[in-house]
A and B are shown apart, each in its own frame.
Chain A
C-alpha cells in the first residue's frame, strides 16, 4: 500500500470523526455511499458456549464467535435512508436523548489498510474510543474496532460498509444515540 494512500485514508477518517464531534451530521452523511451498510452487532459472552473448558468436555458446544451475524439482532443495522432519518430526527427538537446534545470525542487509531474486493475499494480496519459526556456529569466510553470498506466515488473517498464491534457485552451506556 502506498504511503500516500495510507495518509489519505487516515486524514479521511480523522475528518469524518471531526464532523461527528462537531455535530455536522448532514455533512457526515455526504461521506457515505448511497448503498452503505452500517451496523453494530450484539456481543454475547456465555459460559457454556464461549468457554475453552467446555470444548475439552464437549467440542461441539464451543463457539468461537461471540458476535451476532448479519441478519441477526444487532444494536444498529442501518442503510443510507435510515441514517438520514436519524440525522433528520435530530433536527426536529423531539430527539430527547440528544437534547441537550451529547458531547463526543472520537479517537481513531490503529488504521490498517488492505486491498478491497474491487479496484476502487479498500478494506480499512481501525480502533476507536468514543468518549461521551452529557448534561452535568454523565460519562460513557464506547470502545471497539471498525471494519470499513472505503470506496472512491467521483474522486472522493466514501464509506461503503462499516461494521462497528464494541468490546462490551452488556452495553454499559444507557443507550446508543451517537454515530461511530
Chain B
C-alpha cells in the first residue's frame, strides 16, 4: 500500500522547502517539491533607480548576498552596454570566488554533512584511533589525540545538558549511517574547524568591502574601491597581503581537509553515486570575465540534454541569444495568476494562493524551463560544461578523482556526484581567487588605474539580463528600465530551477525527479530524501521569500 510522507521544512538555513513523497513498499514512487513562501521580493525594485538595484538585490537572501549584487549590476550593464574596466572585473572576480569558497565550506559541513555523519556516535570513538586515522589521511594540523578528546568532551557536555539545539532533530543512530565512530568524530571535528575557515574566507571578502559582511563597493560600470598601494584608506599593499594570507589558509583547508572528507564519504557511501539521479539536463553560464564586455571568460558554460551524447550548446558569453531567448517560467502548478509560460522580461508575480493540491497548485516556486525542459543547475552543470569545453583545470580534477574513486562522468548525475562536484568548485574557486589577486596586482603595476566607467542612466527604454554562475548554479536577473526607473525586474535563481514544481506539461522539476525510486530504510525517518535534496544545496530564501510567523525550526515529518 502506498503512503504519503511530508517533510517540512527541509532546509537547515534560510527559507522553507516542503517535500512530499509517495512511498510504495519503502520505495519513492512520486514526489512534490514545494516552496512554502510567497516570492515577490522583486516587486520592491519597481520604480527604483537602476543604479541602486544591486544594493536591494543583495538583500534577497542572507546567504547569497554577493551573488545577487553581481547579477544585478550586470543586468544594468548589459541593458546599457556598459564597459567595465579590467581592474573592476578582477576585483569583482576576486569577491565572487572568495564568496564561493565560504559558501561551499558552509554547505558541505554545516548544511549537508550531518546527513552522513552521526554525531552521537562520535562519543563512542577512541580519540587515539581517530588521531591515527586523521594523520594517515593528511598532515593538516589539529588532529592530535587531545584535540579529539576535547571535541568529544564538549559534545558530551552539550548532549548531557540537553543543549543539542540545532542537532536535536538529526537522525542519529539511523541504519543508513555507516561511518565508524572514529570517522564520525573526525568529520565532526572538521565541522567545528570549518567554522573558522568559513570565517577566514568571509574576512577576506570583508577586507575589500571595508570590514563589512555585505559588499559595498559596486557601481554601474565597475567598482568603487580604488587600489592605492600606499594609501591607508584604500585597498593597499597591507590589505592585499591580508587577503592573500587568508586565501592561502582557506585553500589549504579545502585541498587537505574538505576534499579528503569528500573522498572518505564517497568511499563509504559509494552506492550514492547510483542514487538521486535527476533529469540529466544541465545548464551553466560562463564565469569570471577576463575582458571588459563579458565576452571572454575563464570557465565556459553549456547546456546538456539527456538524450544527446555531447554538449547541446556551448555558452561562451553572457549575450548568448539562444540562452536568453529560450528561458520561460510557468505557473501552472504554482500559486500565481497567469499560468502560461512567460519569458522573465514579461514575467509577473501576481500571487493567487489556493490550497496545497497535489494535482493542481502546490508551490510558491514557479517552474523555469529551457526549451520546455526541466534543467538542473549547479556545480555538476558547471564542471560538465568546463570538461566539455576543454577547461584544463576542471578536466584534471575530474580525471584525478574519477580514477581515485573508480567512477566516470556519468556518475555525477547522483547525490554523491553533486557533493563531489561542489568540492571541485570550492577548490577551483580558491585557485581562481589567487589567480585574480595576481592579475589585479600585475595590472595595477602595469599602470592601469581605472576601476569604473562612470555611467549615467540615460532616458529611454532598455532591457538587460545579468548572468552569474553562482555557488548554486545559474543565476539570472532580468531588468526592464524605462525613463531612468526600473519598470520590471525578475530574478530566476538557481534554486527555482532545481526546486521547480511540475510545468504545464506535467514534467517534474529536478528535486522531484531525483527522488523517484529512492529506497527508504525507515518511512518515519526519511534520511535518504534529505541526503538527495541537500545535495543540491537548497536555498529557498530567494527562490521565494517572506516571513513565517510560526518560526518552525523543527523538522516535521508526517506519515499518512
Q: Do A and B bind each other?
A: no
